[in-house]
Amino acid sequence: MSAVRDYLIDVEYPCGREELLRSAAAHGAGDQIIGHLGKLPEQEYADAETVQRLLGTDSP
């Protein structure tokens, strides 16, 4: 999961899924990471730990 977090370092929480996707894309995330983030529900995320928990262990 640390790979995904590396692309979200500038995210200001709370934020929505679109902000996570924008940040990841701006930091050069590949299709696999963008795909995992894109599968998250459209909601407000309180912090990086929430994102990590929802992505689970099968994400990069």
Dump pLDDT digits (tens) for 2-45: 588 899 999 999 999 999 999 999 999 999 999 999 999 999 99
Q: What are the residue ranges of helices labelled H in the chain? A: 2-6, 17-26, 31-38, 48-55
pLDDT at 23: 97
User: Is it the case that residue 58 has pLDDT exceeding 80?
Assistant: no
pLDDT at 28: 95
Cα three-residue angle 48-7-34, rounded to 5 degrees: 95
The residues, ordered by sequence, that sit 6+ positions from 10 with a Cβ below 8 Å of its Cβ are 23, 26, 27
What pTM was computed for the model? Answer: 0.86
Cα(30)–Cα(53) distance, integer angstroms: 20
Residue at token pair 């994102």: 51
- CB of 52 closer than 8 Å to CB of 1: yes
